[in-house]
Amino acid sequence: MDGLTTLREWVKSGNGKRTVEIKIGEVEESYFMNIWAYDFELAEGQFVNSVKEIDLKKKKQDDERKLYEKFKTKFEGAL
């Protein structure tokens, strides 16, 4: 995992439109950790292990493609 400084820099580079939430530990699982990165401008977020994994533009594009394919399949037969 990247240090907190690297995650903080990613948030700062978003001009107040990004956030990172870190959860460490769960009941009977002290090694549990997840990091949620979110960009309000893109309205997209993802779980990551490091800043290097954050690619919210690609994730948004992938999500939109899946939604397009779903609706295309749904309505293509309706014509």
pLDDT at 62: 95
pLDDT at 21: 97
Q: For residue 50, give every residue at least 6 positions away whose Cβ sits within 8 Å of its Cβ, in sequence order, or none.
A: 1, 2, 6
Identify the DSSP state of 78.
Answer: T
Sequence spans of domains, the chain: 4-76
**Could you give the C-alpha distances from 58 to 11, 21, 55, 77, 79, in angstroms and in order?**
18, 20, 6, 29, 31
Band (pLDDT 50/70/90 cuts) for residue 79 is low
* Ramachandran bin of 15, using left for φ above 0, alpha for ψ from -120 to 50, beta for the remaining angles: left
Contact 69, 60 (CB under 8 A): no
pLDDT at 25: 94
Summarize pLDDT for 15-74 with one digit per residue, the tens. Answer: 999 999 999 999 999 999 999 999 999 999 999 998 999 999 999 999 999 999 999 999
Q: pTM for the complete prediction? A: 0.79
